[in-house]
Amino acid sequence: MSGASPYLGASYGTYRMTTDKRSIRVKIFGSEYPLRGDSEEFTRSVATYVDEMINSIHAKIPEQPTLTVAVLSALNITEDLFKERERSKAVTSLVKGEIEKLTEFMDRSLLEA
């Protein structure tokens, strides 16, 4: 992909392809990439997730070109992200509701005391 940016953004940090000696090397779908992120462990975990997704898609449709497999993998990963965001919103809303209930209960209890 000519002109593609070597920066990969994520909500938890930014990954940068680099040849810096402090970078870590990760293997995704048979190719090695030098990456540097905020946390080596987190970066490796993200790379492993991407690699597993690509390999899973490729195993289901091995006749498809690599670009198609990559795009389908990106769509699946993005779907996972969106589902997690929705789950997080639902949990946050539930927690806020429970905090409001507890606050009201405490306020009533203090007024009765």
Question: What rounded mean pLDDT belongs to the chain?
Answer: 87
Asked if pLDDT for residue 13 goes beyond 70, the answer is no
**Within a domain: 2:** no
Q: Tell me if 42 sits within 8 A of 8, measured CB to CB.
A: no
Encoded tokens for 93: 């809303």
**Within a domain: 38:** yes
Its domain, for residue 98, covers: 7-112
User: Whole-angstrom distance between the N-terminal and C-terminal Cα of the chain?
Assistant: 70
Tell me if the pTM is above 0.85: no
Cα separation, 107 vs 112, in Å, equals 9
**Within a domain: 1:** no
Asked if pLDDT for residue 21 goes beyond 60, the answer is no
Report, as an integer, the average pLDDT of 71-95.
98
Could you give the number of structural domains in the chain? 1
